[in-house]
Chains A and B, each alone.
Chain A
Amino acid sequence: MHAIERMARHLLPAAAALLLLAAPALASAEIPVRVRVLEGSKKGPPRLDPRLEDLRRQLSPLAYVRWEERSERKLAMSQGKTEWIQLPNGDQVGLTLLEVHPDAVTVEVAISSQNTQSRLAVDRGQRIVHQVAREKDGAALFLSVNAWP
């Protein structure tokens, strides 16, 4: 009995592993997504929040000299399910994974107040930076979306 139990203990995890491998892996899988709300401002001393260093190059064409991270969320997103991101100005952004491929995802970014939906495909290693609030008093809000951060 003992030997069989031991054997069973070894086999079951292996069987479970096999099942996972066999399953249509992508559709039901959850993808880690890092979402940050950024504020870009023209006022104040030029400074890039150290947490946003990875975005420095991507933000370089813009005139905002001061960038701060206002919030960050690490999500586990599955295809088709919308996650809501709160903005400091009270607005909301809906993020939805429309398509998932091994090295690329298609994301929809929908801003409630702006009646805007953007559908963007990005490769692994790339990030979406999407303005989510228009400039007011020299500052604007952006969202960065990073799949497989």
Chain B
Amino acid sequence: MTDCLRYAPMIGAREGELAPDEARALAAHLAGCPACRAREAAVRETDGLVAEALLARASRRDFGPFVDGVMDRIAARRARSPLDRMLRWVGGHRRSAGLAAAVPVLAALALVVYVRTDRPARELALFELDTVGNVSIVLRTEDGPLVLLGDGEPEDS
């Protein structure tokens, strides 16, 4: 059983994702393990279906208004103060009660994004982050956080 614990997660790897000796060891294991061969068959059977299902729904939706909505939001941000902007965005859209809580959070919260910085990824240390005001994006790197202010519209450019 311990062999399967090691090899089962490797099933579904694409070309180049496993080191050559890992790939060889996996192939050898599969040759002798019907359970893992079944797992591999299951992965192949369902490969791509999640993408297909989601993209099919995206295709069915009318995206005509999407880009206009994006440009409207950008224009609104340029025009107003941060607090004002957040309040108007909340008020200007009808939402179900469940979503209403999420809306101001999306607009006002600094977004934390992991960014690899030129080295094989090691686990990025968890750190606490809390911002109020004009911070828009925090890039989490191995060396520590890189915080960018909101509204990157350059002045006098």
Known: A61-B146, A119-B130. 16 other contacts (CB 8 A): A57-B143, A58-B117, A60-B117, A61-B139, A109-B147, A114-B133, A114-B149, A117-B133, A118-B147, A119-B131, A128-B145, A129-B145, A131-B147, A135-B154, A136-B155, A138-B157
Q: CB < 8 Å: which of A116, A120, A135 contacts B155?
A: A135
Total number of residue pairs linking A and B with CB closer than 8 Å? 105
- Known A-B contacts A122-B127, A135-B152, A137-B157; A114 and B145 likewise in contact (beta carbons under 8 Å): no
Identify which of residues 129-154 in chain B touch chain A, using a CB-to-CB cut-off of 8 Å: 129-135, 139, 141-149, 151-154
**In the complex, A70 has a CB within 8 A of chain B:** no
The reply to whether A126 and B143 form a contact with Cβ atoms under 8 Å apart is yes
* Residues on B with beta carbons closer than 8 Å to the beta carbon of A122: 127, 144-145
| Main DSSP-derived SS at the A contact region | strand
Q: Cβ of B155: which chain A residues have Cβ within 8 Å of it? A: 134-137
Q: Does A121 contact B (CB under 8 A)?
A: yes
Is A118 a contact of B143 with CB atoms below 8 Å?
A: no
A130 within 8 A of B: yes
With beta carbons under 8 angstroms apart, the residue of B130, B141, B148, B156 that contacts A57 is: B141
Chain B residues, Cβ within 8 Å of A36: none
Q: With A and B bound together, what is the CA distance between A2 and B143 in angstroms?
A: 57
Q: Identify which of A111, A120, A138 contacts B127 (C-beta below 8 A).
A: A120
